[in-house]
Amino acid sequence: MTTIPAPPTGGHVSGLSRLALPWAVIRLGFRRQFAYPQAALWGLITNSFFGLLRVAVLLALFGTRPQVAGYTPQDAITYTGLTQAFIMAFSLFGWFDFMRVIHRGEVTADLLRPASLLGFWAAQDAGRALGQLVLRGLPMLLIFQVIWGLNWPPGPLAWAQVTLSVLLAWACGFLFRLLVNCAAFWSPDAVGFGRFAWAVLGLGCGFLMPLAFFPEWFRALLAWTPFPAMLNTVVELWVGVTTGGAAWAALGTQLGWTLALLLACRVTLRAGLRRLEVAGG
């Protein structure tokens, strides 16, 4: 069994050790995703099947029209491939890991680690997300490329913007998921909060349908929420719907929501830990 290296004894943790621990957690989170390759394979097959259905629905929506809300049929295919590829990396169907740890009292063990609770879980989820992207995300993009062909970012600047957007989308999504899981500090049955949150996330982030296809009033409403930053921004930058100054503005919005959610998580964790009760004490 691989273990996380212990910090040096002697009173304080060196700066190198502070960096070594998160990297070790990321590495272990990544490797853990390869423990059940058959599950990943069947998950990929399932996602591919539903991806085919989603492509058929979107192409039927276009009919003979060459463009809908700035999307071409090829853009719509690329959108479907991207959203299917990021399902597991971004945990779009739900994530209850931290909630279970709170309910079982195991969060106390996390508090003893030589790292912040938030930092430890962020590192763990980063490794998980990267592993799922390699196992299921990249093969999904390959399948779509072979069957239909995809639109790809046109140059180094576009690739850099997309890469940054993917990182911010993961960070924003992780912080939102952690915030939802913090409901377990106040409720012994917080799963219902999570299920409602994931339903809202699926609609608001643009997974069910490109947000550009929705009415203007609905998009204006979503603009006041962090959900588009969790997936839709990545898609629009990738397919070229958002370019130039608007692309940098979209990245700024993602960063702003990430920082806002980071602050909300810190405040909520502090409040939740103050009322934490394990084994009656």
Looking at residue 69, its pLDDT comes to 85
pLDDT at res. 11: 42
Structure token pair of residue 138:
């990249």
Q: What does the buried/exposed string (b/e) look like for 180-192 if buried means 16 or more CB atoms within 10 Å of the residue's CB?
A: bbbbbbeeeebbe
Mean pLDDT of 68-82: 92
> Which tokens belong to 149?
């062909």
Dihedrals phi, psi of 71, to nearest 5 degrees: -100, 135
Of 237, 82, 80, 252, the closest CA to residue 172 belongs to 252
Please say if the pLDDT value at position 269 is more than 90.
yes
Burial 162-172 (b: 16+ CB within 10 A, else e): beebbebbbbb
Distance between CA atoms of residues 210 and 102, nearest Å: 35
Domain residue ranges in the chain? 33-278
Give the pLDDT confidence score for residue 66 in this predicted structure.
86
What percentage of the chain reaches a pLDDT higher than 70? 92
* pLDDT at residue 5 in the model: 45
Q: Is the pLDDT of residue 7 over 50?
A: no
Least confidently predicted of 6-20, 146-160, 197-211: 6-20
Q: Report the percent of the chain where pLDDT is more than 90.
A: 71
- Name which residue leads in pLDDT, 69 or 82: 82
Instruction: Report pLDDT digits (tens) over 229-267.
Output: 999 999 999 999 999 999 999 999 999 999 999 999 999
Contact yes or no for 176/201 (Cβ under 8 A): yes
Number of residues written out for the chain:
281
**pTM of the model as a whole:** 0.89
Q: Please tell me the distance from the alpha carbon of residue 51 to that of residue 45, in angstroms, as a whole number.
A: 10
Q: Give yes or no for residue 15 having a pLDDT over 80.
A: no
pLDDT tens, position by position, 79-138: 999 999 999 999 999 899 999 999 888 888 888 887 889 999 999 999 999 999 999 999
- What does DSSP assign to residue 231? T
pLDDT, one tens digit per residue, over 125-156 is 999 999 999 999 999 999 999 999 999 999 99
What is the dihedral angle through the alpha carbons of 175, 89, 91, 141, rounded to the nearest 10 degrees? Answer: 140
CA distances from 49 to 42, 80, 101 (A): 11, 12, 33
